[in-house]
Amino acid sequence: MNILNIDSRDLARRMRAQALQMVHRAKASHIGSALSICDIVAVLYGQVLRLDPKQPNAPQRDRFILSKGHACVAVYAALAEIGFFPVDDLLEYGQDHSVLMNHISHKVAGVEFSTGSLGHGLPFGTGKALAAKRSKQDWRTFVLLSDGELGEGSNWEALMFAAHHQLDNLVAIVDYNKLQSLTTVDKTLRVEPLADKFRAFGWAVREVDGHDHASMTDLLGTAPWEGGKPSFLVAHTTKGKGVSFMENSVDWHYKSPSPEQLEQALKELSHA
Ligand SMILES: Cc1ncc(C[n+]2csc(CCOP(=O)(O)OP(=O)(O)O)c2C)c(N)n1
C-alpha cells in the first residue's frame, strides 16, 4: 500500500478554503479548531499515511483517528481533495440527513471512528495498535488530539497502557494551540510540562512547529523514534492559522464567518 505523495502545502491551502466555505454555508462552529490542524492533517494524508482512496477499507491501510472531532471539516476536506469522495459532496456538510455531520462520523468514506465527545480517540487508537501487534500486521495508527482534550482522564489511562504494551506502531499528535473554547488551556486546566509528562509515561517525545511541513513529514515519516516505545509529537500551532483575523482568537471557536468575512479570508488564502 502506497503513500499518496501529494504536495501537502497545496493540499492544506485547498483544505483551508473548503473548510471556510463549509462552515460558512452550514453556519457552523469550530473554524479556528479546523484551521489549527490543516497543516498536520495535510502532511499525514499527503506524505505519511499508507492508504488508497479507491479502497477505503483495505486491511493494510494505516489508521488515522481525529480525536478532536469538532474540527472535522479539515479531515472531510482532505478526504474529498484526495479522492475518497467527490469534492462537491462537501456542500452537504452540516445539512439535514447528510453523513457529513458537524462532529466527525465514520459514515464518511475514509473516516475510521466517530468522535466529538473528547477523550475517546487515544483509548480507541491504542486498542487498534494493540490489535495490529497481536495479529502481526504492520499498519500503524495515528491519533490527533487537542490540548484542552488532555483534561479528560481517559487519555492518561491510554498513555500508560500504550507504553506498558510497547506499542511502537502508535503515534499520537497533540495540536498544541494553547486555546480552548472560551479561554487559554493554562487558565482552564494546566497541561505543562507537557513533553516531560509524556516522557515520564514512557513515550518517545518530539516537539515541532505544527505548520512546518518539512519537519513534520520527517518526524511522522520516521516513527517509531525509539524501539518499543509509542511516539508522541507535540505540535505547536496557532488556532485559526492562515486567516489573520481568526488567528489566536477564541472568538472563532464558535463564530461562523459572515459573507464579507468569508470573502476576506479566501482572499488572504489565495495570496498566501
Ligand atoms: C467530553 C466533552 N466535553 C466537552 C466538550 C465541548 N467542547 C467542544 S470543543 C471543547 C474544547 C476546545 O478546546 P480544545 O480541546 O483545546 O480544542 P481546540 O478547538 O482549541 O483545538 C469543548 C470543551 C466535548 N466536545 N466533549
pLDDT in tens, 154-204: 999 999 999 999 999 999 999 999 999 999 999 999 999 999 999 999 999
Ligand 1 atom with minimal separation from the 181 CA: 12
- b/e per residue, 30-62, with b = 16+ CB within 10 A? bbbbbbbbbbbbbbbbbbbbebebeebeeeebb
Q: Is 67 in the pocket of ligand 1 (CB under 6 A)?
A: no
Q: How far is the CA of 138 from the centre of ligand 1 (A)?
A: 32
Tell me the sheet residues that pair with 143: 65, 172
Query: Which pLDDT belongs to residue 261?
Result: 98
Cβ atoms of 266 and 19 closer than 8 Å: no
- 41, amino acid identity: V
Rounded CA gap, 36 and 29, in Å? 14
- Predicted confidence at residue 251, as pLDDT, reads 97
Residue-level length of the chain: 272
Give dist(CA 65, CA 44) in Å, integer.
Answer: 11
pTM: 0.98
pLDDT value of residue 271: 86
Ligand 1 pocket, residue 55 CB under 6 Å: no
Burial-class residue 251 by CB neighbours within 10 Å (0-12, 13-18, 19+).
exposed
Judge whether 171 and 142 are in contact, CB under 8 Å.
yes
Q: In angstroms, rounded to a whole number, what is the distance separating the alpha carbons of residues 250 and 183?
A: 6
Ligand 1 within 6 A of CB of 36: yes
224 CA from centroid of ligand 1 (Å): 28
- Dist CA 28 CA 73 (whole Å): 10
Q: Which residues contact 159 (CB under 8 A, 6 or more apart)?
A: 122, 198, 201, 203
The Å distance, Cα 164 to ligand 1 centre, comes to 28
pLDDT of residue 73: 98
Calculate how far, in angstroms, residue 37's C-alpha sits from the geometric centre of ligand 1.
14
Distance CA 154, CA 159 (A): 9
Nearest CA to ligand 1 atom 25: 117
Q: Is residue 119 in contact with ligand 1, taking CB distance under 6 Å? A: yes
CB 105 within 8 A of CB 66: no
266-269 CB contacts, 8 Å cutoff, 24+ apart: 266/17, 266/20, 266/21, 268/242, 268/243, 268/244, 269/13, 269/16, 269/17, 269/20, 269/242, 269/243
- Ligand 1 atom closest to residue 103's alpha carbon, by position in its atom list: 25
CA of 188 to the centre of ligand 1 (A): 11
Shortest CA distance to 223 belongs to which of 77, 49, 3? Answer: 49
Judge whether 242 and 21 are in contact, CB under 8 Å. no
CA of 181 to the centre of ligand 1 (A): 6
Per the DSSP assignment, residues forming a β-bridge with 249 are none
Which H or E run contains 207?
A: strand 204-209
Pocket test for ligand 1, best of 30, 40, 68, 241 (most atoms within 8 A of CB): 68
pLDDT value of position 1: 75
How many Å lie between the centroid of ligand 1 and the Cα of residue 107? 22
Which DSSP symbol is given to 91?
G
pLDDT of residue 123: 98
Residues of the chain with pLDDT under 50: none
